[in-house]
Amino acid sequence: MSEQIIHKDSATGLPVGTVAAFLNLSSALVALYAAGTNSYGNPKASWICLGCGKHSHIAKELGASRIEANAHSAECRAIPWPQAALV
């Protein structure tokens, strides 16, 4: 199984192409970010939780990924973990 590579914006710590962020129950962000287009040219997106690290396995259409990201933010209790550079 290959590791998903997610490029992050050094200024925000969010994935490059983030289009929305959801706040989980413990104030960690779940970032929804652009991930290309489907065969019809419609935007696709993926998501990652910056609290627990869980992420989508495949990019889906924006609306479907948005629902998944929002659902995860509503159930996740992971706290935001300090970045190594900030310690």
Q: Give me the least distance between CB of 50 and Zn ion, in Å please.
A: 8
Distance CA 38, CA 59 (A): 9
Q: Give me the least distance between CB of 4 and Zn ion, in Å please.
A: 15
Measure CA 23 to chain center. Answer: 11
Name the one range near Zn ion by CB under 5 A: 2-10, 15-23, 52-60, 61-69.
Answer: 52-60
15 in Cβ contact with 9 (< 8 Å): yes
- Residue 51 as a binder of Zn ion (CB under 5 A): the answer is yes
Contacts of 77 (CB under 8 A, 6+ apart): 24, 25, 26
Distance CA 12, CA 1 (A): 29
Q: Which is nearer to Zn ion, 53 or 63 (CB)?
A: 53
- Residue 59 as a binder of Zn ion (CB under 5 A): the answer is no
Q: Which is nearer to Zn ion, 41 or 82 (CB)?
A: 82
- Residue 76 as a binder of Zn ion (CB under 5 A): the answer is yes
